[in-house]
Structures are given as structure tokens and as C-alpha cells.
């Protein structure tokens, strides 16, 4: 079964947000994660490709199982409501594809490490 990893972002009017998402996906591609020979991305709103468009592209590439990782820190309305509703529409469009929903980013030691590092960078920049 050909597996894919799909990174789902919020989306933004800011071009920089799209560039950051693409940069993260490129970092993942360089890791060459064997479990996921295919890698895709999309946004819940505003940005392109949309959630559905990104999934469609993976299906066209031959994905049979798609693991969706929402790049959201908090379990808010998008995680609890919007994503499941959109995913149901996508499942109906692609009934032969197996979808697995991963956890949102949430509280994670690695996030705390990044926050600490950014704080230290800020202090160093004013010295």
C-alpha cells in the first residue's frame, strides 16, 4: 500500500506563510522518510493548494493511504469541527483511499526548545 504524509496548515493571506509551509515540506522531503514515499501539503483556508486539492494531488500520484498531520498548536474549532467536516467530503470523493488523522502539534518539549532558543536569539540581538 503506497503511503503518503500530508501536512495540513491553517492558511493565510500572507505569502510568507505559504513559503514557510513549503519550506517545512521540503525539509521533510530531504529526510527521505521511508514510511512515506509520497509527501503533500495543503491549507484549510485561504492559501493554495486547499486541503482537498492537496489530497487530490496525492491520490493522482498513487497514494492509497494518507496520513494527515494538522500543523496546528491548539485543539480549537478547526481541529474539532472544520477539519473533520472537510475530511468527510474528501473521504466521499476518494472512497478507496484510507485516511489516518494524526494529532495536532500541541504541547511538545520540542516547541518549548524553539521558544527558548528564539528568546535567547532576541536577547543576543540587542547586546
Domain that holds residue 78: 3-126
| Residues 51/84, Cβ–Cβ less than 8 Å | no
Axis-axis angle for helices 51-60, 83-93 (nearest 10): 30
Q: What is the pLDDT of residues 95-117, one digit of tens each?
A: 999 999 999 999 999 999 999 99
**What is the pTM assigned to this prediction?**
0.92
In whole angstroms, give the CA distance from residue 93 to residue 47: 21
* Residues catalogued as catalytic: 10
- Cβ atoms within 10 Å of 69's Cβ, excluding its own: 17
pLDDT of 32 reads: 87
Split into its structural domains, the chain has a count of: 1
Domain of residue 58, CATH code: 3.40.50.1400
- For residue 87, pLDDT over 80 is answered with yes
In whole angstroms, give the CA distance from residue 24 to residue 92: 29
| Residues 105/71, Cβ–Cβ less than 8 Å | yes
| Residue recorded with cell 521511508 | 34
Amino acid at each position: 500500500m503506497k503511503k503518503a504524509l500530508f501536512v495540513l496548515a491553517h492558511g493565510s493571506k500572507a505569502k510568507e506563510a505559504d513559503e514557510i509551509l513549503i519550506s517545512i515540506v521540503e525539509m521533510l522531503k530531504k529526510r527521505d522518510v521511508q514510511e512515506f514515499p509520497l509527501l503533500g501539503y495543503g491549507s484549510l483556508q485561504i492559501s493554495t493548494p486547499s486541503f482537498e486539492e492537496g489530497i487530490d494531488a496525492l491520490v493522482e500520484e498513487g497514494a492509497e493511504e494518507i496520513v494527515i498531520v494538522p500543523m496546528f498548536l491548539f485543539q480549537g474549532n478547526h481541529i474539532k469541527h472544520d477539519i473533520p467536516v472537510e475530511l468527510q467530503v474528501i473521504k466521499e470523493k476518494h472512497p478507496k483511499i484510507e485516511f489516518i488523522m494524526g494529532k495536532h502539534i500541541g504541547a511538545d518539549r520540542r516547541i518549548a526548545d524553539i521558544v527558548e532558543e528564539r528568546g535567547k536569539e532576541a536577547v543576543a540581538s540587542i547586546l
